[in-house]
Amino acid sequence: MNGTEPKITMIDPDQWVDQHGDYLYRFALSQVRDAGTAEELVQETFVAALRSQNNFKGRSSFRTWLIAILKHKIIDFFRKKSREDPRDDTEKYDDSTDRFFDAKGAWKIRPARWNTNPMEAYEQHEFMEVFYRCLSQLPERIAQAFTLREINGLSTEEICKLLNITATNCWVILYRARMSLRRCLELQWLKSN
């Protein structure tokens, strides 16, 4: 190499919204569950990208870079929201999962066998619509914790700080989220396929 970095071809900022806006919006909406907030976060993402476009080095796709910015905006949103409204709505949520297990923790009712390749299902638009619909049925705090952990990849410690909860509470919330999502997906997705 001659020591100079290759020139990165940037997409014209006038085309960002057309090429990436819908994707970013759907991603944000799936996590914050409010159309107005999702729009606002996407706008903030584009403004931040415009301000820091010289920092884009081309080590990932441009869309991946935008998603990384959006993820930070979403985490900031959750952080701010938890400071403004620290109440816990998970206690009143009845997930009725006790009926699946006996006193020793063994299955009473075995879950249906999933004959679907998870990667193929993930890529299917219909599956994602059902998944986000199931996610939207969860209480807000439970959905936030699940989204932060499973979609954004945050650690338990980071989630606890953001949502101002204990690690034990976080594990219970994540368990409830997974069980509820599984039940919802079995009813709304797996039985229809």
Whole-number mean pLDDT of the chain? 80
Confidence of residue 84 (pLDDT cuts 50, 70, 90): confident
Q: Which residue ranges does the chain devote to CATH 1.10.1740.10?
A: 13-84
Contact 35, 29 (CB under 8 A): yes
3-state secondary structure of 101: strand
Neighbours of 139 (CB within 10 A): 18
The matching CATH number, chosen from 1.10.10.10, 3.40.50.150, 3.90.79.10, 3.50.50.60, for 98-192 is 1.10.10.10
Query: Residues 107-148: pLDDT tens digits?
Result: 776 767 766 666 665 556 677 788 888 888 889 889 989 988
DSSP bridge partners of 101 = 107
What pTM, to 2 d.p., does this model score? 0.53
Beta strands in the chain (DSSP E): none
Contact 45, 63 (CB under 8 A): no
Q: Which residue ranges does the chain devote to CATH 1.10.10.10?
A: 98-192
CATH for the stretch 13-84: 1.10.1740.10
Residue 6 pLDDT > 90: no
Query: Residues 165-178: pLDDT tens digits?
Result: 898 989 999 999 99
